Amino acid sequence: MQFSPKLICFKGISILTLLFMFMLPQYSLAQGDDIRERLDEIERELLDLHLKQTDKTSVTAFDSMRLDLGGFITQTFTTTFNGDSPDRSSFDQTNFELLMGADVTDRDSLFIALGFLRQADLVNEAGLDVEQRKFADHANRIPGIIMWGRHDFDELLDVTYGRWITPWGIINREHFPPVLMNLSQPQYLRAVQPGNLFGGNTIVPNFLDGIQAHGSKYFGDYQAEYFAYVGNFDGSGSGPSDFISGARLMGALPNRIFTIGFDYQNGVRAVSGAQDSHYDAWGVDALIDYKGFLLKSEYLRSNERGATGNKESWYIQPSYTRGKFVLFYRWDVIDTDLDTVNDSAEQTEHVFGVNYFLQPTVRLRAEYVLNRFNLNEDNNGKKRDYDNIQLSITTSF
């Protein structure tokens, strides 16, 4: 058998044609699959966008690059008992907060938290006539809780102006119910006499209006962070022209296994019928976070020059998270007049609690609180101590 070049050429072309006939459809098929898969993904994205959007119109974010809306709602039920005061129960707090965050440029942002609160405060909780310990009428409050703008220079400096959370300690900076395992903050962050939420005479204010500088620096995996601020707190604690200034320094080990912070604040307290009192407050706090075990602890003290007594408070709060459950305990002590021993200004709280997450954004809490007073008799010789149970749910978005 002889193979002429013509025949070889013809056979070669035939083989190549056959090869193309088999390979091209395979190649096209693969390409087609890829395109179909990508189209499916785009359709899924579009469907998601469509489902997230209202059927009227999408939101336009004016001049911002990003606009995020969020918020949460909290309902509590509290019952007080086991004391000489009358047992009381109430759905005492319904709080809704609307959060808005926006980036105006890649260095400028703003954040707003508006509260729509309906609350029945427990009045005369620490008073010297326990018969008067009761829930006040529900009151509607709409505070502007946070409203700030921020310019970000670099990692070492960003400047925040407006109304912001006072950078003090651990729990005040966490602050909001969706992330709080116990709804009531430590005593030093609560109004000593209830009824003045977001304006109460706490040892250090929860919020300030003013200007704040902040920055952080990593040294390998070690982090150092600072805050320095000046502002006003015109609640019942001080006037609109009284300035409060302070600073916070923090250091953290890798993965935040251990964090330590130091705080200082100088300010003024208005005292009815007496001259304003100037104070220097300082504090130290530590946080250990290791494999579900979390320990938070803070200590603070204020030295007062004027009509108010020196103040001191501390708490220690261990907790353990396993799956959807969190167990915690807090031992919380406050003395708002250190100069007088065993007076009505000393009280201790023991809080035993459990949290359960229905979803990461739905937190259920049950807390049993022992309220113990150093001066355990009111003016009529009745026991001031009492217990309370608080049940609450917070859903956030």
Partner 1 sequence: MMTKHLVMGFVLIVLFASNSYGEPIVFIVNKDNPIASISNSGIQKIFLKKIKRWDSGEKTVPINLYNNTLVKRDFVSSILGMILHEYDQYWLGVKQRTGETEPRVVKSSKFVLKIVSVNKEAIGYLPEKYFNKLGRSSREKIKVVGIAR
- State the nearest-atom distance from the C-beta of 179 to partner 1, in Å: 4
- State the nearest-atom distance from the C-beta of 156 to partner 1, in Å: 11
Entry field: residues in the chain:
397
DSSP state of 142: -
Record the tokens describing residue 101, joined without a space. Answer: 């965050």
- State the nearest-atom distance from the C-beta of 106 to partner 1, in Å: 5
- State the nearest-atom distance from the C-beta of 321 to partner 1, in Å: 8
Chain centroid to Cα 224, Å, comes to 21
- State the nearest-atom distance from the C-beta of 61 to partner 1, in Å: 13
DSSP string, 173-222: HH-SGGG-SSSSPPGGGS-SSSS-TTT---SS-SEEEEEEEEEEEEETTE
- State the nearest-atom distance from the C-beta of 97 to partner 1, in Å: 8
Closer CB to partner 1, residue 68 or residue 131?
A: 68
Closer CB to partner 1, residue 82 or residue 216?
A: 216
Closer CB to partner 1, residue 103 or residue 276?
A: 103
Dihedral pair phi/psi, residue 143, rounded to 5°: -80, 145
Closer CB to partner 1, residue 137 or residue 154?
A: 154
Closer CB to partner 1, residue 167 or residue 267?
A: 167
Q: Which residues bind partner 1 (CB under 8 A)?
A: 37-38, 41, 44-45, 68, 70, 72, 99-102, 106, 109-113, 152, 154-155, 165, 173-176, 178-179, 216, 218, 220-221, 223, 254-255, 321, 323-324, 357, 360-361, 396
Q: Residue 233 corresponds to which amino acid?
A: F
Closer CB to partner 1, residue 11 or residue 44?
A: 44
Among 274, 296, 269, smallest CA distance to 285 is for 296
User: CB-based contacts of 235: which residues, under 8 Å, 6+ apart?
Assistant: 196, 198, 199, 200, 201, 205
Closer CB to partner 1, residue 220 or residue 273?
A: 220
- State the nearest-atom distance from the C-beta of 235 to partner 1, in Å: 21
Compute the distance between CA of residue 96 and CA of residue 395 in angstroms, rounded to an integer. Answer: 10
Closer CB to partner 1, residue 72 or residue 315?
A: 72
Compute the distance between CA of residue 373 and CA of residue 396 in angstroms, rounded to an integer. Answer: 35
Closer CB to partner 1, residue 11 or residue 324?
A: 324
Among 184, 196, 209, 208, smallest CA distance to 330 is for 184
Compute the distance between CA of residue 362 and CA of residue 392 in angstroms, rounded to an integer. Answer: 11
- State the nearest-atom distance from the C-beta of 144 to partner 1, in Å: 14
Determine whether 367 is exposed, middle or buried from the number of CB atoms within 10 Å of its CB (0-12, 13-18, 19+): buried
Compute the distance between CA of residue 330 and CA of residue 313 in angstroms, rounded to an integer. Answer: 13
Scanning the structure block, which residue is given the tokens 């006037």? Answer: 239
- State the nearest-atom distance from the C-beta of 356 to partner 1, in Å: 12
Element (H, E) at 141: strand 139-141
User: CB-based contacts of 343: which residues, under 8 Å, 6+ apart?
Assistant: 337, 374, 375
Closer CB to partner 1, residue 2 or residue 58?
A: 58
- State the nearest-atom distance from the C-beta of 63 to partner 1, in Å: 17
